[in-house]
Amino acid sequence: MADEDISEEVYFEPFNSPTLPPFIPTPSASKKPADDFSTLPLGAHTLFYLAIIAPHTDTYKIHGPATSFSHLLPRLEDVVSNSPRAIDKLEAIRNIEDVWGDKEKNLEFAERGFGTFVVEGQRGIYTVLKILREENRRVREELPAPVYVVSAHGPLVNEVGYVATTRLVGAFVGQRDAKGAAVRAMDEMVQGRKVSKRSEYWGKESKGGGMLMAMGAARRWEVRIAYEDQVHKRAKEEAEREGESVGWRI
């Protein structure tokens, strides 16, 4: 997701509500998942996202949206390239045997991707790749123009818990719709929780992204709104793969 220049700050009056039992997420609370290469049929307006999840660093990054799974392959291949076992596994699902035992392209993989792909590292370290999907006609018709991607995170304890709590809210064409979805996502997360402060941070540019935050006793919730320009982003990534330096603001 694109880094945003976040500056302006708006505070809301604190409010109190009944306190629920605390949930304290930790990196170790995330169990290693199994590979899942099954997929559901595509809808008429499917959008694809690639989630790159690293439990050992408690990071959860979402790339997308894209109108085709193939647009996410370069980023996916970059992660897989660090693991010989993952390289072999990716090759095995990209190509399948036909009835005569010959290799042929796995069309289902090419069109739909997968559910979960575990990239094995060294000393027990691993990265999880997930293909997330949503049906969104308006955004699909707008791409590859810039769109807003909203994600929710929390509760975080001591800035830990992204892997365990991150979820994709969705993509939006306009900032107003993205803000509305972000506020609703935050309201859902803090409902029934004791929150001492809520705040918003927005970039200097009128169409930029931002972040909503809520603070409680030793806990924090975030909703991030990233402004994604897919045309410049893909061109930048392609240039970087070819060893060129690009100075665009993404």
pLDDT tens track, the chain, 250 positions: 444 333 333 332 333 333 334 444 444 456 899 999 999 999 999 999 999 999 999 999 999 999 999 999 999 999 999 999 999 999 999 998 777 777 889 999 999 999 999 999 999 999 999 999 999 999 999 999 999 999 999 999 988 999 999 999 999 999 999 999 999 999 999 999 989 999 999 877 777 899 999 999 889 999 999 996 554 555 555 555 555 433 322 2
DSSP 205: S
Under a CB-based contact definition with an 8 Å cutoff, are residues 193 and 187 in contact?
Answer: no
pLDDT for 54: 97
Residue given tokens 């980023």 in the structure block:
75
Structure tokens at 224: 């991030």
Residue given tokens 């050992």 in the structure block:
56
The one-letter amino acid code at 219 reads: R
pLDDT for 24: 41
